[in-house]
């Protein structure tokens, strides 16, 4: 493939260090195929750096981790490496979780009852490990505060009465903050979470851990909301979690190549439609990347988006195509076929040594979206770790 995404291992490790300087106990979030970067690329780096707790979205991802651990000959450290699924797991897959020691997230009653039914129907002397998600204000997944007493009753009753000697183990009670940069709202949500935790302990329901921080909460308030763990994703991959940069290092470079160069006369058009009017006699480069590779089509509306060629900005002109874009090379000298084009990342000008950079945040602004969206859209392209 002409498009390539490079993962900078050393910068990922530096970001990990920055995160650990605030909360040293991490659940590394590698959901949705490690934000598109590939679980198989990211997991070995994290393991090498002594990460031992991982969160994925789906049971299939958790099973994939178990397989990778097996291949890395890391399987039997007595469950030292733990995996939780954050998203909904269908009842038909709960057996896989029980057999593979995968921890599930439970966030409503019907889900819990379905899981317990499976446990009793198909297992004996086994443990279902769950993280109970509670709603502190985001109103997405999670038990409400007024449901906790009922939940407590179900959990206690199950562990007392079930005939197959199965156990329901509550690994954690956790929640997720919806607007970390809004301090008043965050304090309200944390207070609610605290109140819910209290209901569990007042009713003598044992749970091992509590955790609340994702990247924005961790970087906004430092150690203030350190519970047993921080669940961290975006910061590891070099995405900036707050509206002002906190100094994380760039992990991602997306590159392609110039595959054609042509001269286009003033007032002629490039690409589909009529957006791409050339304002002066121009040297136009065609670059092999488009929306099929995950490049945000919306950046064509910004009139500002550019890529880097020999460390210099080359403006994108006209509509983004499925697998090509048009760039203005008029003011860049000595450009030729096959020259490298940086879409995200840094590039140095060979003549003067000046380095230009396009960050995920910059691309997100051009596309009027968020960094996570920019990154995960590149999920399908070829990755290399360096
Ligand atoms: C994705 C996710 C995280 C990680 O969030 P980042 O902002 O990427 O660090 C943490 N907790 C939950 C519940 C999530 O869904």
Measure CA of the first residue to CA of the last residue in the chain; give whole Å. Answer: 18
What pLDDT band is residue 163 in, cutting at 50, 70 and 90? confident
Residue 17 contacts by C-beta under 8 Å, 6 or more apart in sequence? none
State which ligand 1 atom lies nearest to the alpha carbon of 29: 4
Instruction: For ligand 1, pick from 86, 240, 376 the residue to mutate: most ligand atoms within 8 Å of CB.
Output: 86
Share of the chain above pLDDT 90, in %: 96
> Distance, CA 323 to ligand 1 centroid (Å)?
31
Task: State the Cα–Cα distance between residues 285 and 159, nearest whole angstrom.
Answer: 67
User: How far apart are the C-alpha atoms of 235 and 249, rounded to whole Å?
Assistant: 9
Q: How far apart are CA 312 and CA 350, in angstroms?
A: 10
What is the whole-number distance in angstroms between the Cα of residue 232 and the centre of ligand 1? 6
Q: Closest ligand 1 atom, CA of 236?
A: 9
Considering only CA atoms, which residue is closest to atom 12 of ligand 1? 176
For β-strands 167-174 and 209-213, DSSP reports them as parallel
Cα-Cα-Cα-Cα dihedral sign, residues 123, 124, 125, 131: positive
Query: 3-class DSSP state for residue 194?
Result: helix
Quick one: which atom of ligand 1 is closest to the CA of 372?
A: 8
pLDDT tens digits for 300-342?
Answer: 999 999 999 999 999 999 999 999 999 999 999 999 999 999 9
Pairing between β-strand 229-232 and β-strand 209-213 as defined by DSSP bridges: parallel
229: helix, coil or strand? Answer: strand
User: Phi and psi for 32 in degrees, rounded to 5?
Assistant: 45, 55
Q: What is the pLDDT of residues 61-84, one digit of tens each?
A: 999 999 999 888 765 465 789 999
CA distance 62 to 20: 24
Task: Count the neighbouring beta carbons within 10 Å of the beta carbon of residue 188.
Answer: 14
pLDDT the model gives residue 109 = 98
Q: What is the pTM of this model?
A: 0.96
User: From the alpha carbon of 174, which atom of ligand 1 is closest?
Assistant: 13
Q: What is the pLDDT of residue 161?
A: 83
Tell me what pLDDT residue 183 has: 98
Pocket of ligand 1 (CB under 6 A): 29, 31, 86, 176, 214-216, 231-235, 241
**Across residues 248-254, what is the average pLDDT?**
98
Q: What pLDDT shows up at residue 77?
A: 61
| Mean pLDDT score of the chain | 96
Structure tokens at 68: 């990778």
Ligand 1 centre distance from Cα of residue 56 (Å): 10
- Calculate how far, in angstroms, residue 330's C-alpha sits from the geometric centre of ligand 1: 43
In this structure, what token pair is assigned to residue 297? 């089509």
Interaxial angle between packed helices 9-20 and 39-48, expressed in degrees from 0 to 180 and rounded to the nearest 10: 60
Q: CA–CA separation, 216 vs 225, rounded Å?
A: 11
Q: Which atom of ligand 1 is nearest to the CA of 35?
A: 8
Of the candidates 257, 262, 252, 139, the residue with the CA atom closest to the CA atom of residue 192? 139
Assess contact for 377 and 294: CB atoms under 8 A: yes
Q: What share of the chain is helix, strand, coil (3-state, %, to 5)?
A: 35, 25, 40
In 3D, which of 177, 176, 157 has the Cα closest to residue 167? 157
Minimal-distance CA residue to ligand 1 atom 13: 176
Q: Residue 348: its pLDDT value, please?
A: 97
Mean pLDDT of 29-39: 98
**Ligand 1: which atom is nearest the Cα of residue 215?**
9
Burial code (b: 16+ CB inside 10 Å, e: under 16) for 339-358 equals bebbbbbebeeeeeeeebeb
Ligand 1 pocket: which of 18, 25, 29, 239 to mutate (most atoms <8 Å of CB)? 29
In this model, does residue 262 exceed pLDDT 90?
A: yes
User: 258: closest CA among 197, 297, 310?
Assistant: 310
Tell me whether residue 258 is exposed, middle or buried, using C-beta atoms within 10 angstroms of its C-beta: 0 to 12, 13 to 18, 19 or more: buried
Query: Which has the closest alpha carbon to 55: 28, 35, 20, 80?
Result: 28
Residue 147 confidence (pLDDT) above 90: yes
Q: Are 65 and 54 in contact (CB under 8 A)?
A: yes
């Amino acid at each position: 493939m002409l498009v390539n995404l490079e993962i900078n291992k050393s910068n990922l490790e530096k970001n990990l260090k920055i995160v650990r300087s605030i909360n040293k106990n991490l659940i590394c979030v590698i959901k949705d195929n490690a934000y598109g970067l590939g679980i198989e690329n990211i997991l070995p780096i994290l393991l090498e750096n002594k990460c031992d707790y991982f969160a994925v979205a789906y049971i299939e991802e958790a099973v994939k981790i178990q397989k990778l651990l097996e291949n890395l000959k890391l399987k039997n450290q007595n469950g030292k490496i733990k995996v939780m699924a954050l998203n909904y797991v269908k009842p038909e897959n709960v057996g896989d979780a029980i057999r593979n020691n995968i921890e599930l997230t439970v966030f409503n009653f019907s889900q819990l009852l379905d899981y317990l039914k499976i446990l009793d129907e198909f297992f004996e002397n086994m443990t279902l490990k769950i993280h109970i998600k509670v709603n502190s204000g985001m109103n997405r997944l999670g038990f409400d505060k007024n449901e906790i007493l009922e939940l407590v009753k179900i959990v206690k009753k199950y562990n007392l009465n079930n005939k197959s000697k199965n156990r329901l183990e509550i690994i954690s009670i956790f929640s997720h903050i919806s607007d970390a940069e809004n301090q008043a709202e965050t304090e309200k949500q944390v207070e609610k979470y605290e109140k819910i935790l209290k209901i569990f302990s007042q009713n003598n329901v044992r749970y091992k851990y509590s955790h609340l921080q994702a990247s924005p909460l961790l970087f906004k308030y430092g150690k203030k909301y350190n519970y047993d763990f921080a669940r961290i994703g975006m910061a590891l991959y070099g995405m900036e979690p707050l509206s002002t940069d906190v100094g994380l290092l760039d992990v991602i470079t997306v590159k392609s190549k110039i595959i054609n160069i042509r001269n286009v006369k003033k007032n002629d058009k490039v690409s589909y439609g009529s957006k791409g009017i050339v304002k002066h006699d121009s040297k136009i480069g065609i670059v092999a990347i488009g929306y099929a590779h995950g490049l945000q089509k919306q950046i064509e509306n910004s009139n500002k988006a550019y890529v880097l060629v020999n460390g210099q900005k080359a403006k994108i002109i006209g509509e983004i195509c499925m697998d090509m874009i048009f760039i203005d090379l008029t003011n860049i000298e000595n450009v030729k076929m096959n020259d490298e084009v940086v879409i995200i990342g840094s590039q140095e000008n060979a003549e003067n040594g000046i380095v230009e950079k396009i960050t995920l945040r910059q691309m997100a602004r051009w596309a009027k979206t968020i960094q996570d969206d920019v990154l995960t859209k590149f999920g399908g392209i070829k990755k290399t770790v360096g």
